[in-house]
Amino acid sequence: MLSAILWGVCLRILQAALQASPFIFTGLCITGLLHRLMGQQHTRRLFGSNSIASLFQSWLIGMLLPGCSLGVIPIVKQLRRSGIAVGTIFAFALSSPLFDPLSMLYGLTLSKPITILVFASCSLVVVTVSGSLFDWMFPNTEVVIEEPPRTPHGVKRLLAVLVVMARETVSSTAGLIVCGLLGAGLLSMVLPPSSLGRTMGHDNPYSPLLMTAIAIPAYATPMTAMSQLGSMFQHGNSVGAAFILLIFGAGMNLGLLTWMVLNYGWKKSVVWFGLMLLIVIGFSYGIERPLFPTDIEPADHTHAFDIYCQPFHAGTPPTGGYPSEIWRRLRLETQPHELFGAALLAALTSLGLFLKWLDRRWVIESWLNRCPSVATATRLKWDIVVPGPALALVGFLTIIAGSVVGCFAYYPDPAETLEELNLAKTEALSAALGGQHEHALHWIPICEGWNRRLQVGAYLRRGRLSDYHRMKARVFQDQLEQLEHMVEDGDPPDQIRKHVADTSRAFGRLSAAFRDELDSP
């Protein structure tokens, strides 16, 4: 039993680390741009400090830039070094992980997109009210830290950004990110497999409170949180619990809380966190009835929260052993952009370790910040001196544009998505027919993921998603979920065989509906 728990913790931490890697890399890029190109003065002008306007500015910037609760850790450290008040810092830290273009598009294709817009508006109210109250109670949270010398214009300035990114990977940032990842591992230790399947019901008044206890140590990327919100809406779960999952599950982790305590002390940390709890929980109960989808029959079971629970059942170890099973799951579940982000982080960490070793002999910043003498300085006729803030703005716009382009890559054309969904469906149904339960339970969630991406891809390219297509996708989703429950419960083979045929027909109708739209002018 203990070995199943420990190996499960390892799997959950590795899964969270891979999911977070692209966002951590993006956060390091933003940190380098702020530190070496914007500087403290221009950073304060961009974000503001200690005012209601600054809270709105930080919320808006956070909504535009892609990120996650782990990826914002190096950014909040840089904002503090720039002399920005803690209320403004956390307005950005909580808003950046909540929404990005990928997750926003996902949310807008839900049955009631107004819910996502209300959630976004509520998040603005949360950061504004809590930040204003905190800054009023503690008006002097800005710190004054001497700014490092400016790097001269040219290639050195760009190298300085890279150096900042590399050094952050081997600084206290790494320890704080590890704290955030440990939260996901610790949560899996205390939650047995699938133990949250029948929780978070709309009729359960304690659902928001239970979700608060789960969401604070949990880690979720914006896309993960949004997909869980979609599942909660479709199953008729608590809307208030969904709001808390978004704010605390996606917007917070143990690493951020640790940073708060280390830099501002227990008193201020407890006050700020207490304000957040009161406001967010109050909102969760206030929006429960108005936003609950009355046209959906509540389900008594969901797998949306299984990623927070222990992945392995005690007493039934995987056939090939725990290490091989972990490797199999990571190999099959990890997305290409996550592998790319992990590779970039590994390269930056290697560079950061090399610079630490090099510091004993030669500090690279001394060379980067050294201004060339007039006698040795040479300028080519096409050299143009671009102000640092202008370069930083180009960098920010590039990050935003990259996330928009990533939407089209992550949500492919419906024709391509249908091909991938057909392959995943074949794997899932064949495994269910053959009695390969583990294989079936692996591929069914993949089918559900492609089913959602099919709808978002169509919405992204057509600007709409008809109720007819939503219905076909919903029927296929329901068939997949019922098949998953039957496989888990070990239903008789003849019943599984019949339901596999029903699921296959549902996919056929789904495919025909979307292909007819593709063929239409």
Question: What is the per-residue pLDDT for 518?
Answer: 63
In angstroms, rounded to a whole number, what is the distance separating the alpha carbons of residues 235 and 172?
Answer: 41
**Which one of 3.40.50.1950, 1.10.420.10, 1.20.120.660, 3.40.50.10470 gives the CATH number of domain 413-521?**
1.20.120.660
pTM for the model stands at 0.87
Question: What is the per-residue pLDDT for 375?
Answer: 45
CA nearest neighbour of 258 among 359, 181, 348: 181
Question: What is the per-residue pLDDT for 169?
Answer: 95
Answer yes or no: are the C-beta atoms of 74 and 33 closer than 8 Å: no
As a 3-state breakdown, the chain gives helix, strand, coil percent values, each rounded to 5, of: 70, 0, 25
In angstroms, rounded to a whole number, what is the distance separating the alpha carbons of residues 137 and 128?
Answer: 14
Question: What is the per-residue pLDDT for 520?
Answer: 58
CA distances for 278 relative to 130, 251, 274, 282, 478, angstroms: 9, 16, 6, 6, 36
Question: What is the per-residue pLDDT for 378?
Answer: 54
3-state SS of 7-34 is HHHHHHHHHHHHHHHHHHHHHHHHHHHH
Question: What is the per-residue pLDDT for 65?
Answer: 84
In angstroms, rounded to a whole number, what is the distance separating the alpha carbons of residues 275 and 247?
Answer: 13
In angstroms, rounded to a whole number, what is the distance separating the alpha carbons of residues 174 and 176?
Answer: 5
If the chain, 521 residues long, is cut into consecutive pieces of 10 residues, what is the mean pLDDT of each piece?
A: 86 93 94 90 84 85 86 93 88 83 71 75 86 85 81 84 94 94 91 81 85 90 80 79 88 91 90 90 88 69 80 80 88 87 95 93 86 55 71 85 80 90 93 87 87 86 83 89 86 91 93 78 53
In angstroms, rounded to a whole number, what is the distance separating the alpha carbons of residues 317 and 143?
Answer: 52
Which residues are bridge partners to 201 per DSSP? 237
Q: What is the C-alpha end-to-end distance of the chain, expressed in Å?
A: 59
Other CB atoms within 10 Å distance of the CB of residue 350: 13
Q: How is residue 250 written in tokens? A: 């996606």
Give the residue range(s) of CATH 1.20.120.660 domains in the chain.
413-521
